[in-house]
Amino acid sequence: MTTAPSDVDVVLPCLNEAEALPWVLERIPPGWRALVVDNGSTDGSAGVARACGATVVHEPRRGFGAACHSGLTAATADVVCFCDGDASLDPSLLVPFVREVRDGEADLVLGRRRPRDRGAWPAHARAGNLALARMLRRRTGLRLHDLGPLRAARREPLLTLGLTDRRSGYPLQMVVRAADAGWRITEHDVPYLPRTGASKVTGTWRGTWQAVRDMSRVLNEPPYTEGNRPLTTLLVIAKEPRPGRVKTRLTPPFTPGQAAELAEAALADTLHAVAATPASRRVLVLDGAPGPWLPPGFDVVPQCAGGLDERLADAFAHCDGPALLIGMDTPQVTPKLLTVDFADCDAHFGPAEDGGFWALGLARPDPALLRGVPMSTPVTGTAQRNRLLTAGLRVRDLPPLRDVDTAADARAVAALAPRGRFAARLARCTAVAGPDARAVTDVDPPDD
């Protein structure tokens, strides 16, 4: 095995597979390169992979799709293969797959798993796979029997599919989008062996159900054809709503506990607007821990350390395609405002009335566009928009919105969305807080 550029790269997503990797890596065909994508292993998998001659790629975002796509983007060979790293599949079986792709007989070749042993494929996993195969047939017309991980295709066409799923739906999304693009897809039987160690995805009924849910979401995506622009990733950057950490400018007239309640309501309204907006992926970039206010369908990633410009820049680093980022201070936001199109622009910019900005969308996320921009000043929005223009981007402006910083802001924003959680919580907090809060929130905010 070699780490030099090769004709074929084999992507091996890996999470704690130190025991299985030697068996898998010694079966990589000569001249091919193994790309082991370490997805946060704690058992020394990365070291084992290097010792066996593999190239190691680190992907901190948890998820099978995140690991697979990180390997795809790190690959350089003309043909890219995928295989599990748990010793359930023999990568040497990929040789005829690659030959079929190179000979132009197929664009995507899949392995249909045939268990060699009753314990190789649990009943609940087989049932979930069968249900998905039937759903796939209804969606695409493909008469496939399995959505297994063993597969081969050319790298450049794979990249044009604009794959966005970063969880269990990644293998299915590859097949669906390839079918929509008119690819020739074939399937061949391969022996399936009992995996080494416990499965992270389909080892339990709960894991299988989660995988089926992820894949069902993929099947409900609109048809994708080569050349289409992928849907936008929606990012929400937020703090966990804990007393004393959020909305401190609301105290007084409100107590720290009431300010945290208002922050939670604002965040919940924001997240539900995002959940109702068409998107390839929804990501909460969170400082703290998620709570019952988080609706389903979101990936949660931690905020990095550093100033706000660094944290915003890092949020965009979680995206591989068009992305729109918003905060938690505009609970009046709506799905209509969040549905953006980059067909004739490179960036969307949503100015805030206090001089900042409530939204930033980038067709090609580049963290450098945010680093070094002065934050939390009256000229932050102007500085950020100028940064985009200086970079030569075509900028489309979104409507200005008012952030909730003060009690007067809270009243004005609640009036814009009177049926929201935030407006209801503000009414309750104002009633409890007494005359001081009513005096502030009953005063019409000055014109800007």
Query: What's the CA gap between 2 and 55, in Å, rounded?
Result: 9
- Residues 180, 313: one domain? no
Which of the listed residues 219, 254, 282 is the one where a domain comes to its end?
A: 219
- Residues 339, 371: one domain? yes
Tokens of 118: 């009753």
Confidence check: pLDDT of 178 > 90: no
Identify the pLDDT of residue 135.
Answer: 82
Residue 433 within any structural domain of the chain: no
- Residues 104, 248: one domain? no
Instruction: Catalogue the long-range contacts made by 72-77 (C-beta closer than 8 Å, 24 or more residues apart).
Output: 72/11, 72/155, 72/158, 72/159, 72/163, 73/159, 73/320, 74/35, 74/37, 75/9, 75/11, 75/35, 75/155, 76/5, 76/9, 76/155, 77/5, 77/6, 77/7, 77/8, 77/9, 77/33, 77/155
Identify the pLDDT of residue 447.
Answer: 36
User: With contact defined as beta carbons under 8 Å apart, do 153 and 80 qualify?
Assistant: yes
Report which of 408, 405, 418, 406 is spatially closest to residue 445, judged by C-alpha positions.
Answer: 408
Residue 243 within any structural domain of the chain: yes
Confidence check: pLDDT of 440 > 70: no
Query: What's the CA gap between 377 and 424, in Å, rounded?
Result: 30
Query: How, if at all, do strands 347-351 and 33-38 pair?
Result: unpaired
- Residues 24, 100: one domain? yes
Residue 442 within any structural domain of the chain: no
Identify the pLDDT of residue 219.
Answer: 78
Residues 6+ apart with CB under 8 A from 372: 309
Which of the listed residues 164, 188, 219 is the one where a domain comes to its end?
A: 219
- Please tell me the least confidently modeled range out of 23-37, 205-219, 279-293: 205-219
User: With contact defined as beta carbons under 8 Å apart, do 176 and 189 qualify?
Assistant: no
From residue 134, give the alpha-carbon distance in Å to each of 138, 184, 190, 251. 6, 19, 20, 56
Residue 426 within any structural domain of the chain: no
Band (pLDDT 50/70/90 cuts) for residue 448 is very low
Tokens of 141: 């017309």
Q: What's the first-to-final CA gap in the chain, in angstroms?
A: 67
**Domain boundaries, position 53:** 8-219
- Residues 260, 215: one domain? no
- Residues 263, 302: one domain? yes
User: Radius of gyration over alpha carbons of the chain, in Å?
Assistant: 25
Identify the pLDDT of residue 213.
Answer: 67
Confidence check: pLDDT of 4 > 50: no
User: With contact defined as beta carbons under 8 Å apart, do 394 and 345 qualify?
Assistant: yes
Residue 354 within any structural domain of the chain: yes
Question: Whole-number mean pLDDT of the chain?
Answer: 87
Q: Which residue in this structure is represented by tokens 């905060």?
A: 327
The better pLDDT of the pair 202, 393 is held by 393
pLDDT tens per residue, range 110-163: 999 998 876 666 676 777 777 778 888 888 888 888 888 999 999 988 987 878
Residue 275 within any structural domain of the chain: yes
Confidence check: pLDDT of 207 > 70: no
The better pLDDT of the pair 3, 285 is held by 285
Confidence check: pLDDT of 16 > 60: yes
Identify the pLDDT of residue 359.
Answer: 97
Give the three-state DSSP class for 241.
coil
Q: Enter the pTM of the model.
A: 0.53
Which of the listed residues 196, 219, 242 is the one where a domain comes to its end?
A: 219
With residue 348 as reference, give the H or E element that holds it: strand 347-351
Confidence check: pLDDT of 201 > 60: no
Q: Give just the sign of the alpha carbon dihedral 369, 371, 373, 376.
A: positive
- Residues 132, 173: one domain? yes
Identify the pLDDT of residue 211.
Answer: 63
pLDDT tens per residue, range 47-100: 999 999 999 999 988 889 999 999 999 999 999 999 999 999 999 999 999 999
- Residues 153, 253: one domain? no
User: With contact defined as beta carbons under 8 Å apart, do 395 and 405 qualify?
Assistant: no
Query: What's the CA gap between 161 and 176, in Å, rounded?
Result: 10
- Residues 270, 159: one domain? no
Query: Interhelix angle for 407-416 vs 421-433, to 10°?
Result: 140
Q: Provide the CATH number for the domain around residue 39.
A: 3.90.550.10
Query: What's the CA gap between 388 and 379, in Å, rounded?
Result: 15
Query: What's the CA gap between 161 and 391, in Å, rounded?
Result: 27
* Order of all β-strands in the sheet with 79-82: 55-58, 33-38, 8-14, 79-82, 151-154, 108-115, 185-192
Identify the pLDDT of residue 268.
Answer: 95
Band (pLDDT 50/70/90 cuts) for residue 202 is very low
Identify the pLDDT of residue 311.
Answer: 95
- Residues 393, 244: one domain? yes
* Size of the chain, expressed as the number of residues it contains: 448
Query: What's the CA gap between 276 and 300, in Å, rounded?
Result: 17
- Residues 58, 107: one domain? yes
Number of domains forming the structure of the chain = 2
Mean pLDDT of the 261-286 span: 91
Residue 447 within any structural domain of the chain: no
User: With contact defined as beta carbons under 8 Å apart, do 190 and 111 qualify?
Assistant: yes
Identify the pLDDT of residue 410.
Answer: 96
Residue 432 within any structural domain of the chain: no
- Residues 208, 238: one domain? no
Enumerate helices (H) and strands (E) in the chain, giving the number of each: 15, 14
The better pLDDT of the pair 175, 281 is held by 175
Band (pLDDT 50/70/90 cuts) for residue 42 is very high
Confidence check: pLDDT of 195 > 80: no
pLDDT tens per residue, range 356-409: 999 999 998 989 999 999 999 999 999 999 999 999 999 999 999 999 999 999
DSSP state at residue 401: B
